[in-house]
Structure 1
Amino acid sequence: MPEGHTLYRLAREQSELFAGRPVHVTSPQGRFAAGAALLDGRVVEGVTSYGKHLFADFGGDVLHVHLGLYGTYTTGVGDPPAPRGALRMRWVADGPKGEGVWTDLRGATACDVLTQPEVDAILDRLGPDPLRTRRGGPLSYAKVGRSRTAVGALLMDQAVLAGVGNVYRAEILFRHRISPFRPGRDVGAQEWQALWDDLVVLLRAGVRMGRIVTTQPADRSRRSGAVRREDAHYVYRRTGLPCRICGTEVRTEEMVGRNLYWCPVCQAV
């Protein structure tokens, strides 16, 4: 599932390409036909993200998209290709330089037109987004610090904090040497604040780079030049490989429906 930095980049890209312009909206698949008819020909005022949600403002009506596990946007310049397969929604507009631009949405969990009060109801259910505020540490800790739930599960709970997914969960816990199985109430307020501050840095770096890199240069096999994929993470998808710090085999097991990765020595309970 795309994490918060990906949605932030998508919102920025869509705003740059479509904001201030009338957009031809269609649903070749038909599942979004009513919503497409409502939005077709209207001007996009802007696109924003919050956590894993996208909101496109069409002047009173808001298009809400949640990509889920399988949703993808494909964007291009010029004439769009002939629609194929389960194409949920297509936007076509004249781009900022006069060229045609288009974007296609497939496989999203949610794609619907909402009123502003309905948007506010979604936002009210979400915890603070590290890409939207640096001051969300205490707000999220108010829930973490009194919970018996494992911190590895709390990090995936969008009501606790918004935008963190499986990669950031595994990596942020390793970077702070916190066991994913530790109850939230056993994580100190200062520990959580340090973790939150680090998430702000990592997510912003993810926005800049368009990928998640969490390792320090000294912990990579190649310490200069572009970061190779195999050097980008400490524990995520490294099951059975030696921990970059202590050499212990990285382990995995399922937690809240997703594979969890951790080092049993560096992150001892």
Structure 2
Amino acid sequence: MPEGHILHRLARLHQRRFAGAPVRVSSPQGRFDAGAAAVDGKPLTRAGAWGKHLFHHYAGGAIVHVHLGIYGHFTEFHLPEDGVPEPVGQVRMRMIGLKNGSAYGTDLRGPATCAVIDEAQQADVIARLGPDPLRNDADPALAFKRITKSRKTIAALLMDQSVLAGVGNVYRSEVLFRHRIDPYRPGTEVDETEFTAIWADLVALMKVGLRRGNIVVVRPEDDHGEPAYAPGKPRTYVYRRAGDPCRLCRTIVLTAQLEGRNVFWCPSCQAGQSS
């Protein structure tokens, strides 16, 4: 599932390419016909993100709410001079816009959510989310309060979108390693100094992800040795490195299922309840 920086990158891209001009919106697949008709031909006033949720605001108050889920993705394209290309695959929503003399399009496939909502419904979505490290209006104190009231593991809490919005499996495994925190430590045992450092690190790391489009978590002095877990990906400390030696201490990296998702950690660098 895409982590929050991807949604913020999409919001910035769609703001740049479509905002301030009318947008043709359709549903080649047919599953979003009514929603597309509600905004088709209206100007997009702004695009924004909160955690893993994308919001397209149209003149008149309609908002297209997108949550990509596990399989959703946007495909961006420039319109060729010979017309609009035929959609490929199951395109839930197609947007086409002309701005500053350039014609752009984007196709959305496989989202968990693609629906037209109003401002009150958007407020309800946001009310269920925790602070987003990539938003200037984020209040980290809300996340700390929720963490310290819970006996759930800190690894589970960092992935809970009602606690922190936008953090996914890569960032949670890596930030816990970077701060030498056992993923199984209860939230009630995380102190304010530790959380403040985690929050600041998430803000910095996710801003890098927003800027570069990749999750970059390994410090330059550690960025050597075994290759990344997949071609074209930056190195990680522990994420998807189970069975490989820790980049710092050479202890074998472990993994386990935690509330339905795999968590990765070094039992030496992150010694604690799970050691």
Instruction: Tell me, yes or no, whether TM beats 0.5.
Output: yes
Deviation at 1:94, TM superposition (A): 1.0
Task: Give the match for residue 84 of structure 1.
Answer: 88
Residue 238 of structure 1 aligns to a residue in which SS? coil
Q: Please give the alpha-carbon distance, in whole angstroms, between the structure 2 residues aligned to 1:209 and 1:100.
A: 24
Q: CA RMSD in A?
A: 1.4
Is the Cα contact below 8 Å between 1:138 and 1:193 reproduced in 2? no
- The total of aligned residue pairs comes to 263
1:93 and 2:94 matched? no
Letter paired with 2:152 = T
Q: Structure 1: 5+ residue runs without aligned partners?
A: 223-227
1:44 and 2:47 matched? no
Is the Cα contact below 8 Å between 1:137 and 1:197 reproduced in 2? no
Q: Please give the alpha-carbon distance, in whole angstroms, between the structure 2 residues aligned to 1:230 and 1:49.
A: 24
Letter paired with 2:64 = L
Q: Please give the alpha-carbon distance, in whole angstroms, between the structure 2 residues aligned to 1:174 and 1:136.
A: 24
Task: Give the match for residue 6 of structure 2.
Answer: 6
Task: Give the match for residue 167 of structure 2.
Answer: 164
Letter paired with 1:82 = E
Which of residues 114, 117, 129 in structure 1 aligns to 2:117? Answer: 114
Is the Cα contact below 8 Å between 1:20 and 1:44 reproduced in 2? yes
TM-score relative to the length of structure 2: 0.92
Change (3 A) 1:179 1:229: farther
Is the Cα contact below 8 Å between 2:79 and 2:85 reproduced in 1? no
Counterparts in 2 of 1:17-166, with a 5 A limit? 17-59=17-59, 60-79=61-80, 80-96=84-100, 98-133=101-136, 136-166=139-169
Task: Give the match for residue 232 of structure 1.
Answer: 235
Is the Cα contact below 8 Å between 1:212 and 1:232 reproduced in 2? no
Percent identity between the aligned chains?
50
Deviation at 1:14, TM superposition (A): 0.2
Is the Cα contact below 8 Å between 2:23 and 2:40 reproduced in 1? yes
Residue 49 of structure 1 aligns to a residue in which SS? strand
Is the Cα contact below 8 Å between 1:92 and 1:100 reproduced in 2? yes
Q: Please give the alpha-carbon distance, in whole angstroms, between the structure 2 residues aligned to 1:229 and 1:201.
A: 22
Letter paired with 1:203 = M
Counterparts in 2 of 1:182-201, with a 5 A limit? 182-201=185-204
Deviation at 1:134, TM superposition (A): 7.3
Letter paired with 1:75 = E
Deviation at 1:85, TM superposition (A): 2.0
Change (3 A) 1:82 1:229: closer
Residue 139 of structure 1 aligns to a residue in which SS? helix
Deviation at 1:230, TM superposition (A): 6.2
1:220 and 2:230 matched? no
Q: Please give the alpha-carbon distance, in whole angstroms, between the structure 2 residues aligned to 1:233 and 1:134.
A: 29
Runs of 4+ in 1 over 6 A off after TM superposition: none
TM-score relative to the length of structure 1: 0.94
Letter paired with 1:187 = V
Letter paired with 1:22 = P
What CA deviation, in whole Å up to 9, does each residue of 1:157-194 have, x standing for no partner? 00001000010010000000001100000111110111
Q: Please give the alpha-carbon distance, in whole angstroms, between the structure 1 residues aligned to 2:115 and 2:37.
A: 12
Q: Please give the alpha-carbon distance, in whole angstroms, between the structure 2 residues aligned to 1:133 and 1:45.
A: 20
Task: Give the match for residue 225 of structure 1.
Answer: none
